[in-house]
């Protein structure tokens, strides 16, 4: 049986300076109970790798508001004015990565690949300091893989051995970041017996999940 932790116990696993991949699109698919417990505990200088920083008071935005984020690797920060203000003030280092490139770098990290070749960003600031590789007359940027110490993910359902099912946009990042972190903390909305989740609905197999975060 996979271990079950309270949000507070799960938050205790995360030290200062840890790197976290956090699922969610503007907070949809973000493990809110775990985020709240993390804010209460207060580790500092976290590196957050995620699609966005949500909004003030929601999801990753809570970590930003609490001053816990030292670096953010993300595709956009447009809906969180606090992230923008902290970036301009030099309080948070923000690496803006095209969304498709971001998820492919995470996928490469999870699959053990050496990187991703993409034409996205050629001729822009995105390309600064990166290798350009020519293949059959076309130019590509070499984007390096991303991994993290922890993945914090939200799931619609988990079973007793940690198989996870997701719904709607929660499927976009959560299953991929589960591949690319040393420790996976999954917060399901419900936990069901093995067999309740149809096999073709399992997007993250339990072998990848270290702990279920329960009430």
pLDDT at residue 52, as a whole number: 95
The mean pLDDT value for 173-181 works out to: 95
Give the pLDDT band (50/70/90) at residue 185. Answer: very high
The mean pLDDT value for 44-65 works out to: 95
Is the pLDDT at 45 greater than 90? The verdict is yes
Q: Let me know: does 87 contact 94? Beta carbons within 8 Å.
A: yes
pTM of the model: 0.94
Alpha-carbon span 184 to 205, nearest angstrom: 12
Distance separating the N- and C-terminal Cα atoms of the chain: 17
Q: pLDDT tens digits, residue range 125-165?
A: 889 999 999 999 999 999 999 999 999 999 999 999 999 99
pLDDT at residue 215, as a whole number: 75
The mean pLDDT value for 64-74 works out to: 97
1 vs 4, 54, 159, 209, 210, CA distance in Å?
9, 33, 10, 11, 11
pLDDT at residue 1, as a whole number: 64
Is the pLDDT at 71 greater than 70? The verdict is yes
**Of 49, 31, 186, whose CA–CA distance to 107 is shortest?**
49
Is the pLDDT at 170 greater than 90? The verdict is no
Q: pLDDT tens digits, residue range 79-123?
A: 999 999 999 999 999 999 999 999 999 999 999 999 999 999 999
Average confidence score pLDDT of the chain: 95
Q: Domains in the chain and their CATH numbers? A: 3-111+146-213 (3.40.1080.10)
């Amino acid at each position: 049986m996979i271990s079950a932790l309270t949000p507070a116990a799960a938050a205790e696993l995360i030290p200062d300076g840890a790197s976290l991949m956090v699922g969610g699109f503007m907070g949809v698919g973000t493990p809110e109970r775990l985020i709240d417990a993390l804010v209460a505990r207060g580790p500092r200088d976290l590196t957050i790798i995620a699609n966005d920083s949500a909004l003030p008071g929601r999801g990753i935005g809570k970590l930003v508001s609490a001053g816990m984020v030292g670096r953010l690797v993300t595709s956009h920060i447009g809906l969180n004015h606090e992230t923008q203000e902290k970036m301009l003030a030099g309080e948070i280092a923000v690496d803006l990565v095209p969304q498709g490139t971001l998820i492919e770098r995470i996928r490469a990290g999870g699959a053990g690949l050496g990187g991703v070749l993409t034409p996205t960003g050629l001729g822009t600031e995105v390309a600064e300091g990166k290798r350009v590789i020519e293949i059959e007359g076309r130019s590509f940027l070499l984007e390096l893989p991303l991994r993290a110490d922890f993945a914090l993910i939200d799931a619609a359902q988990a079973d007793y051995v940690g198989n996870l099912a997701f719904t709607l946009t929660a499927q976009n990042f959560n299953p991929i970041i589960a591949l690319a972190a040393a420790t996976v903390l999954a917060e399901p909305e419900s936990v069901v017996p093995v067999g309740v989740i149809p096999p073709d609905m399992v997007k993250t197999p339990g072998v990848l999940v270290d702990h279920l975060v329960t009430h």
